[in-house]
């Protein structure tokens, strides 16, 4: 099962941020812009890292920002943000981070297929540096194996 | 055999860890049930687990357990998962 179509609003390339909070906020902004979440969800994603630390940095250079389902999640969504300058999240092995994925789900179960497909894509170790180096939306989509939504085609 | 994949909120990162741990177990030809959970659930879910897979950031939050705690650096690296699971279960 391929990943769902990724709207251009859910992708931000070469974003300038000061720190990890800015990086997670950028992933939240992209989820908001693409209609998946409300601003409250962005705050909750930052709150997860405040509470539990930088475990969301799950591979070298990659953070998977996320929080629990809630009323601030309108539809399941994924956002992709690449950073102009990598930032440290405080992870002992995987810093600095240059690519942030934002994940929003509406229930604890429905995300399993989405996440399994993310694992398929990212099991290729070349993907993270290639995403970080991508300069346009179509390259990001091609690397992830996703299409544009019908209204953008 | 039971293995727990742990993350802060039980969504997303623990699910990725679960998917790739199952791939590693298939390589090792080991049958095990891999359950994704969060910090709040690890004490109950992890009660009868042999291994808890997690990030170094979360080890201190687990508390007392009889399970082997295995720290995974790269959740997408099935080679790392395979090697560490082989050591823990061997």
Looking at residue A112, its pLDDT comes to 72
State whether A56 and B10 contact (CB < 8 Å): no
Domain assignment present for residue A143? The answer is no
State whether A69 and B58 contact (CB < 8 Å): no
State whether A93 and B56 contact (CB < 8 Å): yes
Rounded (5°) CA angle A141-A105-A36? 65
Domain assignment present for residue A144? The answer is no
Q: Is B37 near chain A, with CB under 8 Å? A: no
What is chain A's Cα-based Rg? 14
- Nearest Cα neighbor of B8 from A81, A113, A103 is A103
Looking at residue A88, its pLDDT comes to 98
Domain assignment present for residue A147? The answer is no
pLDDT at B56 over 70: yes
Overall domain count for chain A:
1
Q: Please state, as a whole number, how many other Cβ atoms lie within 10 Å of the Cβ of residue B56.
A: 17
DSSP category for residue B15:
H
Query: For residues B43 and A20, which has the higher predicted lDDT (pLDDT)?
Result: A20
Residue-wise pLDDT for B3-29, tens only, equals: 999 988 888 888 899 999 999 999 999
Structural domains of chain B, ranges and CATH numbers in brackets: 2-81 (3.40.50.2300)
Range of the domain at A31: 8-133
Partners of residue B26 in chain A, C-beta under 8 Å: none
Q: What are phi and psi of A76, to 5 degrees?
A: -55, 140
Low-confidence ranges of chain A (pLDDT < 50): none
Q: Is B7 near chain A, with CB under 8 Å? A: yes
CA-nearest residue to A90 within chain B is: B57
Domain assignment present for residue A138? The answer is no
Give dist(CA A36, CA B33) in Å, integer.
Answer: 33
Out of B9, B19, B58, whose CB is closest to A68? B9
pLDDT at B32 over 90: yes
Half-sphere exposure of A72 (CA within 13 A, CB side): 16
Residue-wise pLDDT for A121-132, tens only, equals: 999 999 999 999
ipTM reported for the complex surpasses 0.95 = no
Q: Is A60 near chain B, with CB under 8 Å? A: yes
Q: What are phi and psi of B6, to 5 degrees?
A: -110, 135
- With the C-alpha atoms ordered A133, A79, B36, A49, is the resulting torsion angle positive or negative? positive
State whether B7 and A55 contact (CB < 8 Å): yes
- Nearest Cα neighbor of A23 from A47, A46, A40, A52 is A46
Q: Is A47 near chain B, with CB under 8 Å? A: no
Looking at residue A39, its pLDDT comes to 98
Contact present, A86 and A96 (Cβ < 8 Å) = yes
- How far lies A144's CA from each of A8, A28, A78, B11, in Å? 13, 19, 11, 20
Looking at residue A110, its pLDDT comes to 63
Domain assignment present for residue A109? The answer is yes
Looking at residue B8, its pLDDT comes to 87
CATH number, position A65: 3.40.930.10
**Span B56-75, mean pLDDT?**
93
Domain assignment present for residue A2? The answer is no
Q: What are phi and psi of A59, to 5 degrees?
A: -155, 160
Give dist(CA A32, CA A39) in Å, integer.
Answer: 7
> Any idea which residue has 């993270």 for tokens?
A128
Domain assignment present for residue A106? The answer is yes
Domain assignment present for residue A142? The answer is no
Looking at residue A12, its pLDDT comes to 98
């Amino acid at each position: 099962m391929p990943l769902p179509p990724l709207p251009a609003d859910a992708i931000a390339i070469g974003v300038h941020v000061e720190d990890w909070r800015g990086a997670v906020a950028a992933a939240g902004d992209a989820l908001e812009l693409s209609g998946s979440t409300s601003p409250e969800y962005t705050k909750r994603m930052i709150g997860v890292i405040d509470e539990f630390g930088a475990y969301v940095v799950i591979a070298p250079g990659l953070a998977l920002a996320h929080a629990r389902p809630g009323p601030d999640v309108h539809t399941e969504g994924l956002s992709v943000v690449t950073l102009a300058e990598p930032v440290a999240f405080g992870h002992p092995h995987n810093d600095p981070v240059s690519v942030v994925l934002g994940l929003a789900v509406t229930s604890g179960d429905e995300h399993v297929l989405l996440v399994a497909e993310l694992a398929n894509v990212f099991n290729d170790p070349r993907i993270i540096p290639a995403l970080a180096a991508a300069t346009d939306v179509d390259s990001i989509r091609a690397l992830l194996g996703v299409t544009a939504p019908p209204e953008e085609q | 055999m039971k293995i727990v994949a742990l993350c802060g909120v039980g969504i997303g990162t623990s699910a990725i860890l679960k998917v790739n741990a199952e791939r590693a177990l298939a390589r090792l030809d080991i049958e095990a049930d891999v359950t994704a959970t969060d910090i709040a659930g690890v004490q109950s879910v992890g009660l009868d687990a042999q291994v808890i897979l997690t990030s170094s950031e979360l080890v201190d939050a687990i508390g007392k357990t009889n399970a082997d705690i295995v720290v995974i650096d790269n959740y997408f690296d099935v080679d790392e998962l395979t090697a560490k699971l082989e050591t823990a279960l061997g």
